[in-house]
Structure 1
């Protein structure tokens, strides 16, 4: 069954290369950053990260089992270390800052007979979300 699931999602999630011509025609909805030089070397202050943590909505647990409630309660104790990691490793962040785990869950509570009865969800670490 594992080979069937792997094959199904490889085919489903694979993409064809987009031509340069179609990219040039596409109108992006994202505003460009005009002063990118101002962002290079930006160091995240503790207060900014703490504000983000306190304003985050509750969401599913990360793969490590931590939720936003944990971060809200204990960020004052480990937040400075967290900020140091962000500021000192912007070129190559730790694996948990950039990885996610894809889990397959049943679409409904009925019997799961095959791949079509499952849906993938992506679990990201809260470090990434912050």
Structure 2
């Protein structure tokens, strides 16, 4: 049995796979943090870990969702949400953790860019709900 991706899923999968290089960079940066080479607060360290973890898990889930979305044959806006919701969540949530904790000195609280985490959570919910309903109804 061969898996045939739709053109939309194939394009999204290609972009998602390319983002893994940025996740690798994040992992390298976390090793610098762990060695004490980067002067940051405990809050910033925690958010760096959260951003990196969310990126890795959601990119993996996003790739799985592409295959499942093609199995539903969802089209139009619902198909787009089912395919892109989780990959967008990976970008938004990770960016939210990193950007909201950026800065020098005693950064101990997230800035307003933390809203990206909540936008990512909405994107995640929309993607998995649309896909789940699509799988149950087709």
TM-score, with length taken from structure 2: 0.25
Structure ranking higher in helix proportion? 2
Structure ranking higher in strand proportion? 1
